[in-house]
Amino acid sequence: MPSRLKITAATLDPAFLDLPWSTPLEEWPENVLAPLPRGISRHVVRFARLSGQVVAVKEISHEVAQREYNLLRLIDKMDVPSVEPLAVVHGRTDANGEELNAALVTKHLQYSLPYRAVFSQHMRPKTAFRLIDALAVLMVRLHLLGFYWGDVSLSNTLFRRDAGAFAAYLVDAETGELHENLTPGQRNYDIDLARTNIIGELFDLQAGGMLDESEDAIHIGDRIHERYHELWEEVTGEEVIATNERWRVTDRINRLNDLGFEVDELAITSDDDGTRVRLRPKVVDAGHFHRQIMRLTGLDVEENQARRMLNDLDEYRAITNQQDEPIELVAHEWLATIYSPTIQMVPRDLRARIAGPELFHEILEHRWYMSQKLKRDVPTWEAVKDYSEKFLVRRRDERVYMATTQELPRIATEE
């Protein structure tokens, strides 16, 4: 190891020092690399194995790496879905003493899919819409916190399955800026760029035969605009209601919760004549259901998965006649008697292919379909068996999604 090597990190795994830092990233040997699919990028990005986990290494200048590292740490602390930064490595020199670029190291996001992997088989507009919807939620969350992204695109986002939908994670924060508040101009600039980039990416997919030529890429790309503004309006917009329509206050809070946003306070001001009030919510952040499940069960799950689990928990509470019991106790029991055993019923070799909460969601869906078809109540064990044998065996392992060929692998799930 060259003596000038410097590593900035919050905590450092000693195995870090074993990575071949004196070799340009492009030439790292196969035995340290993990062959996973990546989005398109300007810089060299590789995945490396490190103490049983996988890390993403990006080669960039020291200044840029340090800046991105700091930003990722900040947004990670604010609980925004993003990749987790591990370290900046600089002062690298090769065998001849030539300087090498610095590297930013982030944790590989388990079960995440770059958008091209989501579409690898046969992309349908419905899937594109789902990805864009997830990206709109991420943008609203970031903008509420004053984060201007500066280069929003599908390649700068990673997607995780979320109970049939997707959850978006920020992966590339290089162009980001954190402000106290964003002006409408800054927000609009971010959305316009997102739209332009997405349309470009959809054209690329069409050129690569992954999206039907007949689909209107511009129309699909416009959706980011619509979804973002709808959400922003719902989350921050002022509403005028008559004083005798107080129920609309609760209504607004419920709608925001349904969208996954948490209301911190409501600013209510009455009009001069006292007949109407103005209502403006102060939304803290998304993750309403996520936080509830975290508090009740300690499980760290996506928003829609959390909602699905809470519904099942409610049902369990009703069936077992425990409406008057504290929810914390019922949740504990539900976890031990319903959730965990359901996951455990899945054959061990298939279990890790999909993240646990998504597996749980798919099993419940499957049980519902089977019951509909067979016109009887299908027990969970029967649904698990059928689901595992017919569907899960055909799924790829998405934990670290291994690419076996140059081509991106197929996913057999977009039915």
Ligand X SMILES: Nc1ncnc2c1ncn2[C@@H]1O[C@H](COP(=O)(O)OP(=O)(O)OP(=O)(O)O)[C@@H](O)[C@H]1O
Which residues lie near ligand X (CB under 6 A)? 38-39, 41-43, 45, 56, 58, 83, 106-109, 112, 114, 151, 155-156, 158, 171-172, 174
Residues near Mg ion (CB under 5 A) are: 41, 156, 172
The partner in contact with residue 117, picked from ligand X, Mg ion, none with C-beta cut-offs of 5 to 8 angstroms by kind, is none
Nearer to ligand X, 171 or 277 (CB): 171
- The minimum distance between CB 413 and ligand X, in angstroms, equals 19
The partner in contact with residue 43, picked from Mg ion, ligand X, none with C-beta cut-offs of 5 to 8 angstroms by kind, is ligand X
Is the CB of residue 252 less than 8 Å from the CB of residue 279? yes
The partner in contact with residue 154, picked from ligand X, Mg ion, none with C-beta cut-offs of 5 to 8 angstroms by kind, is none
Nearer to Mg ion, 101 or 156 (CB): 156
- The minimum distance between CB 88 and Mg ion, in angstroms, equals 17
Nearer to Mg ion, 156 or 297 (CB): 156
The partner in contact with residue 287, picked from Mg ion, ligand X, none with C-beta cut-offs of 5 to 8 angstroms by kind, is none
The partner in contact with residue 396, picked from Mg ion, ligand X, none with C-beta cut-offs of 5 to 8 angstroms by kind, is none
Is the CB of residue 106 less than 8 Å from the CB of residue 70? no
Nearer to Mg ion, 89 or 158 (CB): 158
Determine the residue with CB nearest Mg ion. Answer: 172
User: 279 by DSSP, 3-state: which?
Assistant: strand
- Amino acid code (one letter) for 60: I
Residue among 60, 27, 39, 37 nearest 19 (CA):
27
Nearer to Mg ion, 68 or 262 (CB): 68
How many residues in total does the chain contain? 415
Own/partner contacts of 137-141, CB < 8 Å, gap of 24 or more, are 137/168, 137/231, 137/260, 137/286, 138/80, 138/81, 138/168, 138/169, 138/170, 139/190, 139/191, 139/194, 139/224, 139/228, 140/228, 140/231, 140/232, 140/235, 140/286, 141/80, 141/81, 141/285, 141/286
Nearer to ligand X, 106 or 292 (CB): 106
Handedness of CA 110, 116, 122, 125 (dihedral sign): positive
For 337-372, give the DSSP string. Answer: IIIHHHHHHS-HHHHTTS-HHHHHHHHHHHHHHHHH
- The minimum distance between CB 385 and Mg ion, in angstroms, equals 42
Helices marked H in 270-355: 288-297, 303-319, 327-334, 340-345, 348-351
- Amino acid code (one letter) for 232: W
- Amino acid code (one letter) for 125: P
Nearer to ligand X, 157 or 388 (CB): 157
Nearer to ligand X, 115 or 261 (CB): 115
The partner in contact with residue 77, picked from Mg ion, ligand X, none with C-beta cut-offs of 5 to 8 angstroms by kind, is none
The partner in contact with residue 231, picked from ligand X, Mg ion, none with C-beta cut-offs of 5 to 8 angstroms by kind, is none
Nearer to ligand X, 112 or 342 (CB): 112
The partner in contact with residue 174, picked from Mg ion, ligand X, none with C-beta cut-offs of 5 to 8 angstroms by kind, is ligand X
For 164-210, give the DSSP string. Answer: TEEEEEE---TT-EE-SS--HHHHHHHHHHHHHHHHHHHHHHHHTTS
CA angle 49, 18, 400 (to 5 degrees): 5
Determine the residue with CB nearest ligand X. Answer: 39
Nearer to ligand X, 175 or 257 (CB): 175
Residue 215 token pair: 């689909």
CA distance 138 to 136: 5
Residue among 273, 278, 272 nearest 238 (CA):
278
User: 35 by DSSP, 3-state: which?
Assistant: coil
CA angle 157, 203, 153 (to 5 degrees): 20
- The minimum distance between CB 169 and Mg ion, in angstroms, equals 13
Would you tell me the crossing angle of helices 125-144 and 217-236 to the nearest 10 degrees? 40
- The minimum distance between CB 153 and ligand X, in angstroms, equals 7
The partner in contact with residue 106, picked from Mg ion, ligand X, none with C-beta cut-offs of 5 to 8 angstroms by kind, is ligand X
- The minimum distance between CB 42 and ligand X, in angstroms, equals 4
The partner in contact with residue 109, picked from Mg ion, ligand X, none with C-beta cut-offs of 5 to 8 angstroms by kind, is ligand X
- The minimum distance between CB 138 and ligand X, in angstroms, equals 14
- The minimum distance between CB 45 and Mg ion, in angstroms, equals 8
- The minimum distance between CB 47 and ligand X, in angstroms, equals 7
